[in-house]
Amino acid sequence: MNTLDCRAGGKVYLIGAGPGDPELLTLKAVRALGACDVLLVDDLVDPAILAHARADARIVRVGKRGGCRSTPQAFIERLMVRYARHGRVVGRVKGGNPFVFGRGGEEVEALRGAGVAHEVIGGMSSGVAVPATLGIPLTHRDHACGVTLVTGHAREDGGSAREPDWTALARTGNTLVIYMGMRRLAHICAALRAGGLAPDTPACAIQNGTRADQRSVIATLADLPQQVQAQGLGSPAIVVVGSVVSLADRSAHGTRMPDGRAHG
């Protein structure tokens, strides 16, 4: 279903809010936000995005941050189903893209199982948009013929997903874009080096990408953990590893446009 005319019955939109900069929101996401009775909003969603919501919309904060107290996923799924079954139009608003490390797949499964009408509105993933703020192309004919998006940690709730095979990833020759990797950055960098990546492989970490408070460190694979610690960078952040990082625009490194948006 592609229409946003859903007032006749309950429905859930999984809305990708993009990496942070409100101007990177899609037009379809803007229209969906304005159609919703209830918005279940993740912690990483910029508050300015909610300016597109109806004045009478109910805003429910369902934050999920690594290492912090988070709203249980099962509770969020029950809320979506409950509101929709009461005829509400629900927006599940998520940072980035719902289907890229956003648990969107799990939520769609829950909605399908409950027989709830739903639609996914993809957003710009931070793994793509954030490196671009520093002028880093994820692919380049002279540097990398592919890019791999990977999580920096394994599930901690007993799920079947294992830690990424860093040795295999090191051998691909692809640019590596690592989500949620800051807590284990030293381990990840050491594992990639053990897997065959040279210590002087360019690498960077970008915190709060595309936002007014974006910060970044550009270094080598060997030095990145120490540089990140020295500069005090933390989560949320994207880590990029590969020779494409050598193309970073140093003049854009940590700079902002006059209106607060990311340069680049």
Asked about 182 being catalytic, the answer comes back as: no
pLDDT, position 65: 58
Q: Please say whether the dihedral angle defined by the alpha carbons of residues 198, 200, 206 and 207, taken in this order, is positive or negative.
A: positive
Find the catalytic residue in 37, 46, 64, 94: 64
Find the catalytic residue in 11, 37, 80, 180: 180
pLDDT, position 71: 84
pLDDT, position 37: 97
Per-block mean pLDDT, blocks of 10 residues, the chain (264 long) = 52 96 96 97 93 97 68 93 96 96 94 96 96 96 95 66 89 96 96 97 97 95 97 96 93 47 40
Query: Which residue ranges form the domains of the chain, and what is each CATH number?
Result: 11-124 (3.40.1010.10), 127-252 (3.30.950.10)
Q: Which residues contact 254 (CB under 8 A, 6 or more apart)?
A: 214, 215, 216
Q: Angle at the Cα of 128 (from 198 to 26), degrees rounded to 5?
A: 175
Whose tokens are 């040279």? That residue is 198
pLDDT, position 261: 42
pLDDT, position 153: 76
Asked about 42 being catalytic, the answer comes back as: yes
Residue 45: alpha-carbon gap to chain centroid: 10
pLDDT, position 260: 41
Count Cβ atoms within 10 A of the Cβ of residue 209 and give its class: 0-12 exposed, 13-18 middle, 19 or more buried.
Answer: buried
pLDDT, position 154: 65
pLDDT, position 66: 54
Structure tokens at 148: 């791999």
Strands 175-179 and 237-241: antiparallel
